[in-house]
Structure 1
Amino acid sequence: MTSQVEHTDVGAYALGILEEPDRTAFSDHLAACPSCTAELQELSGVAGALSGIGPLGDEHDDADAGDRGPAEVVNLLRRRKAADRRARRGTFVIGAAAAVTLVAGGIAVGTSISGESGSVPVGHSAHGPAEDAYRSGTPLTGTGASGVTGGLVLETKGWGTHAALELRGVKGPLECELVAVSRSGERRVVTGWAVPERGYGVAGSPEPLYVHGGVAWGPAGIDRFEVRTTGGDTLLTVMV
């Protein structure tokens, strides 16, 4: 990653307000950064909803941005971006994107799992970031409860371990968590999700579930991962 690229540029990239040299640099950065790719997927719904909205004049002030329509908020966002481009990018952009979501009347933005994403940005995989991460690695196969199968792909990061999970053979409704267990027995929740009644990787709903998350420990400090229901049942265990 060059000095011109910040991880927090993902909000500006999603809304299409980066200048061309920064946009090109960030496109190259996305190819090697799963976390930014995941954030971009989450913001793609906002970006799509705002497509075609043009800027207004410069007579508006920041103070009453919350009372304006989507076009005015986008115009304000563009002006602020130009003024702050030497500062840390993205924090204001992502916050403004959230504000636009509210004033536009409840635009839904969510993380893609198991192919249930909305529109896919041009130049990116049709899979969600969790599935892409799983497909790009060598899975560790888990031991599951009756009918449950799955595995994990682990990626060592400077901040810890990125984990991508594939899970099959589960029916809902359930609430589940992926939990990392250290070699000393300490437990940390990596990510959580809900399983709808139709389930994943079962008759009538054959597609598996893909989710991903991170834990602060490196792989050497992890004994295993467990997929557990909030009721305390263990669905899958993956030894590291």
Structure 2
Amino acid sequence: MRSQERHRDVAAYALGVLDEADAFRFEDHLMECPRCAADVTEFGPITRQLLLYRRSTPQFVHPMTQPGPRLLDRLLSEVGARHRAGRRRFLCAVAATVAFAVAGPGLVVLAGGGESAVRIDATDARSGVWAQVTAEDYTSGSQLELKVKDGAGPRTCRLVIVGTNGSEETVTTWSVPRHDARELTMQGSSSLHPDQIARYEVRSSDGEHLVTLKSR
């Protein structure tokens, strides 16, 4: 695969449609191409929205189905409701953080509006990698924000969710620049709700465990 072709594979890699062999070769390319590493990170919100669409669309819906005349009204109503709920959650979260802190190392719970956002952070003494995960419960599962500091690059890493039932799900993948310990932020989503998640693991592309964040 020539260099220019690798650049064009950014979108396919971020959306998870490359086959295993091409994905492996592209991960090698990511370790030496800051441009592609940045592009993969920027695709995070798009990938998340596509995953949410896939999970919320019944399998029997034909891909060429036309929207009904009341679809726009329903969408606008839902957006308005989410904005109002988001503002309520923000105000309650501020009040909660001022009023109390939840006991336990690295664990903070922001509660409000009948929903909660859970934030966990940890540092691995062996690898030196620090990570923080914020998980917010949604109807379709969880919305996640990951922050990582890792000065041992270049390498490609991924966030893996381990469910309480032992299942594993890769949420997002990114490339760590060479000897750069600045904080990286990624977005992702999971079909599991926060209370169905046992732990979060940051792993390198070759399977090395870099840091574990336990949710319970």
Give the TM-score, by structure 1 length: 0.40
Of the two, which has the highest radius of gyration?
1
